[in-house]
Structure 1
């Protein structure tokens, strides 16, 4: 690891991945951190937040061209779009705007870390080869994760910096207002089920209840991301990062129900995005009744993402042994992860 000054540029610093990454870098104590996001944030200690529209080239130039001290770029930004093809232009464009603004001025740049996911393996399209491995062949485009990695590979040729691609499963952590936070989906769904006097029913597709899958804890992911960015052995490599265990919803669901003191009833396929669309008035009543923090309903409900995850009626896991072979040996028990995050939501008055 380099002993010189380390300056991290965390792109997407307000998402569940970015926030945990900023927290981990802060705890390490030897990093200066610059967080980029659309809405910015409160700067304190070694962390400085910069609000920027990453799709606006001029705004990127105005806000990022002075970041000459950056040594590591951690890219975890994402913009949602309704189709796979529509995801490509904004998500590739944001990465290009960041790199082509910062790289020419950051003469001490050492590494660019790219956050990806199992979409690289076609996991979002249907049943795919499991366990997925970093060496697996590519699938038919469109896929912005692949386009981003190819851009980095081409940009890196002849450069002094290196890159890494980090591929987590579903990332779970404490964050609000994130379109892909499964833990918050479960927390809000469980709380509303209890308020209505209902058992906790698994809402996914028939067949999804008993398939094998895995998760990635956001704190574990932060550690792995910094490890890959600072260990020379990881240069220009991709790594699957997961908790290290597998589970099935039919075993996990009763344990989640127990957290809410709820009974479990038979699964009932339903779109959360549809059946929870009218629950905002109820949520507002719950805020008053239980003295919850007044977070808008839209910030605690990622129902469409919940529908996506609960639709996987096929195995969803990847081989994480490459990271272990390269030296990363951390793991997280997934049951403990879910219960800890739900307890954090309760302690912070997000759910009753």
Structure 2
């Protein structure tokens, strides 16, 4: 039994949910949440534009950017009691991010209202951007009561939309703030696990040592991650815990790491030599290895996935060049009843092994 299995919350958690709609079910967060509710025997519909391979729940193909399509597509989810909102669209400017991601949430809520859904609870995901992690240095450990920044942010806009709708229609809402979510999902630009897994696998295939590709400042800074399965358990908890109504919570594994310590552990796992960090822009370096990866897929009988969907190299560059401490306090969640935690180094190794077992990346031996 793995450590993550040992720390799971009881199966009774989440009994309040009669029917769950997960928006963004194809992403790393949404997929794990949908699977967790299914594991607990709760009916789940997963909403995304494209079907999700291997899904154990009913898929709804809906484009939330189209208000009319959203209203029509969500008609089938008229019995939804819990909405889990993990949909996200990347845009190059702050204004565009606010416009498009606000529309996603607004259309989902209006679609459920039109369907007459007996909505009881909505979980909305935020993240370190709420504290300014995307801007540079921010005060740590960040706490949920910290004031908003003067910088516009789509998290703020979405939260305001959700709180207003909750007050008008009588449902509860909880905001969860993970950092660096790790878990298996493809086509998701913000998943550092897949960046590490594919980068290490290609380096190993090339006969190179494993090198941290970021800056020395990032190599030594404190960082934290959130395991996707832990976040899924937090989501179930938030949807059934009265104290979580109207609250925001930082949700991470509960420890902090330095890449200085983890990358040698990754090298040992992959049975590779380890060399000193060498800053490399992954977004520039890695696309050239698409043909090599396709050869590796054939050689090792791996799951065939378009190379562009495997890893978000630009996201990896951002994380591995963030030369400041990124730490949020999880005390509030613990005080309110969610005490789940994981050892990040152990969990990374478990997940890397699982990727090999599932033939997403080549086996070590």
TM-score normalised per structure 1? 0.96
SS at match of 1:277: helix
Aligned residues: 350
Check whether the contact 2:77–2:117 (CA below 8 A) recurs between aligned residues. Answer: no
Aligned to 1:289: 299
Q: Which residues of 2 match residues 11-26 of structure 1 at below 5 A?
A: 11-26=23-38
Aligned to 2:4: none
Aligned to 1:177: 187
Per-residue CA distance 1:200-232 (angstroms, 9 max, x = gap): 111112311001011100000000011011111
Aligned to 2:345: 335
For structure 1, which runs of at least 5 residues remain unmatched after alignment? Answer: none
SS at match of 1:85: helix
Check whether the contact 1:41–1:51 (CA below 8 A) recurs between aligned residues. Answer: no
Aligned to 2:210: 200
Deviation at 1:322, TM superposition (A): 0.2
Deviation at 1:158, TM superposition (A): 4.0
- What is the RMSD of the two structures over their aligned residues, measured on CA atoms? 1.6
Distance in 2, matches of 1:145 and 1:348, equals 34
Q: Which runs of 4+ in 1 moved over 3 A?
A: 1-5, 41-45, 104-107
Is 1:155 aligned to residue 165 of structure 2? yes
Deviation at 1:119, TM superposition (A): 0.5
Aligned to 1:8: 20
Aligned to 1:144: 154
Per-residue CA distance 1:306-336 (angstroms, 9 max, x = gap): 1111111000110000000000111011011
Aligned to 2:116: 106
Distance in 2, matches of 1:5 and 1:228, equals 11
Distance in 1, matches of 2:280 and 2:172, equals 45
Per-residue CA distance 1:263-318 (angstroms, 9 max, x = gap): 11111111100011211011111112222222221121211111111111000110
**Alpha-carbon distance change, 347 to 148 in structure 1, aligned in 2, over 3 angstroms:** same
**Alpha-carbon distance change, 262 to 4 in structure 1, aligned in 2, over 3 angstroms:** closer
Distance in 1, matches of 2:54 and 2:68, equals 23
Per-residue CA distance 1:108-141 (angstroms, 9 max, x = gap): 2111110111110111110000000000011123
Check whether the contact 1:43–1:49 (CA below 8 A) recurs between aligned residues. Answer: no
Distance in 1, matches of 2:109 and 2:54, equals 23
Distance in 1, matches of 2:222 and 2:239, equals 30
For structure 2, which runs of at least 5 residues remain unmatched after alignment? Answer: 1-12
SS at match of 1:230: coil
TM-score normalised per structure 2? 0.92
Deviation at 1:6, TM superposition (A): 0.6
Equivalent position to 1:256, from 238, 246, 266: 266
**Alpha-carbon distance change, 256 to 147 in structure 1, aligned in 2, over 3 angstroms:** same
SS at match of 2:360: coil
Aligned to 1:33: 44
Equivalent position to 1:304, from 297, 309, 314: 314
